[in-house]
């Protein structure tokens, strides 16, 4: 009993600590804080109150409040040593980097700090630094953004490469003239082995260059193989993209077959009735020919008969297996066989011949034998 209590005690203590932390941080969503006090927290040199100020700002953002007025005080803390504080600072900057012209100018002043964090040891810091840099919509730094994306596209962590793929549409919207460079990065990311990166690369492809399907030639089979391993949103993008690809690049398995069938059907529908009856007589079906003038007079009625007098489809009985899934996972599925009737489709030439024969019999019965 003592041993089991010794093993479970740490886990109980951790659960209690987690619950206490949740309770202690809930007041950031409920309490209102004086703006002056928040600025004092953000300017705390020791860093003890800085975490409180950032938590309150993020809580207000999650509630839909506009806290962009604190941008000058927050952007100064991008050089904070604490990883937890730096993550919160970057989350705030990603949200407000393009909020206004003043925010963009202040973010530009910290561009060197963002570039420095692209080489941080923490992959989340590298990814957040890239997201902030590419969120600044200033054409003057687009070359710096391209260099940052190119660097992160070759990062060893798949999450950083995913953020690099998601940054490409932002750069394309800001500078469409850099399309060749963006295509090269998309082609590089489409060859990635991670499904996390591939989904974002396909998303970038659909925005940047959706008509350039040649980029998918080297990786189409791989995309088909990893489709089931991607997340749901990536699967939707992959299915739409691959459908467009195969419709353009794959050959028709029966070229011209459907067109020929429609052409023959149109010829039969528009041909004079005596021509169809003569063709049936010459084919050896024993259908006698009739006078052309009588056939033309009754053509409209026979066409309706030919359409309406189609023979019924033959039926046949087959057995199929019906599986009843067990309700609980430890039970076995039940299966049984049942007999059902299915319709068999008749060949097109048989249907047409029989319809014409029925039409001819009705026509000859209506004609005067004298």
Confidence band, pLDDT 50/70/90 cuts, at residue 335: low
pLDDT digits (tens, 9 = 90+) for 162-215: 999 999 999 999 889 999 999 999 999 999 999 999 999 999 999 999 999 999
**pLDDT value, residue 101:** 85
For tokens 């003057």, the residue is 140
Query: What DSSP character marks residue 1?
Result: -
Residue 111 CB contacts under 8 Å (≥ 6 apart), including other chains: 133, 136, 141, 144
Work out the percent of the chain whose per-residue pLDDT is above 70. Answer: 65
- pTM (2 d.p.): 0.59
pLDDT digits (tens, 9 = 90+) for 298-315: 455 545 544 444 455 567
Q: How far is CA 85 from CA 90, 125, 318, in A?
A: 9, 11, 69
Residue 309 CB contacts under 8 Å (≥ 6 apart), including other chains: 355, 358, 359
User: Which has the higher per-residue pLDDT, 325 or 198?
Assistant: 198
For residues 130 and 143, give the distance between their C-alpha atoms in angstroms, rounded to a whole number.
Answer: 13
Sign (positive or negative) of CA dihedral 19, 24, 30, 36: negative
pLDDT at 283 over 60: no
């Amino acid at each position: 009993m003592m041993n089991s209590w010794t093993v479970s005690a740490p886990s109980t203590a951790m659960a209690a600590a987690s619950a206490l932390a949740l309770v202690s941080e809930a007041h950031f969503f409920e309490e209102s804080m004086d703006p002056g006090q928040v600025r004092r927290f953000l300017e705390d040199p020791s860093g003890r109150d800085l975490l409180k100020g950032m938590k309150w700002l993020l809580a207000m953002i999650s509630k839909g409040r506009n806290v962009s007025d604190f941008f000058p005080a927050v952007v100064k803390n991008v050089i904070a040593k604490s990883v937890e504080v730096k993550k919160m600072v970057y989350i705030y900057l990603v949200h407000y980097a393009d909020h206004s012209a003043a925010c963009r100018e202040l973010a530009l002043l910290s561009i060197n700090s963002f570039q420095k964090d692209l080489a941080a040891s923490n992959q989340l810091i590298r990814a957040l630094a890239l997201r902030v840099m590419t969120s600044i919509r200033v054409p003057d730094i687009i070359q710096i953004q391209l260099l940052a994306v190119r660097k992160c596209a070759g990062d060893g962590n798949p999450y950083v490469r995913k953020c690099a793929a998601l940054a490409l549409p932002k750069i394309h919207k800001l500078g469409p003239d850099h399309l060749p460079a963006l295509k090269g990065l998309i082609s590089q990311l489409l060859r990635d082995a991670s499904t996390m990166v591939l989904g974002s690369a396909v998303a970038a492809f659909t925005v940047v260059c959706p008509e350039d399907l040649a980029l998918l030639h080297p990786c189409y089979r791989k995309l088909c193989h990893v489709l089931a391993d991607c997340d749901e949103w990536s699967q939707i993008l992959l299915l739409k993209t691959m459908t467009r690809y195969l419709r353009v690049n794959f050959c028709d398995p029966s070229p011209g077959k459907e067109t020929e069938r429609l052409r023959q059907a149109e010829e039969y529908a528009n041909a004079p009735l005596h021509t169809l009856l003569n063709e049936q007589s010459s084919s050896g079906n024993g259908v006698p020919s009739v006078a052309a003038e009588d056939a033309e007079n009754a053509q409209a009625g026979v066409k309706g008969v030919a359409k309406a007098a189609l023979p019924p489809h033959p039926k046949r009985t087959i057995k199929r297996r019906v599986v009843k899934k067990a309700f609980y996972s430890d039970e076995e599925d039940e299966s049984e066989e049942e007999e059902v009737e299915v319709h068999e489709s008749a060949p097109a030439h048989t249907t047409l011949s029989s319809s014409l024969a029925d039409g001819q019999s009705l026509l000859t019965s209506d004609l005067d034998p004298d």
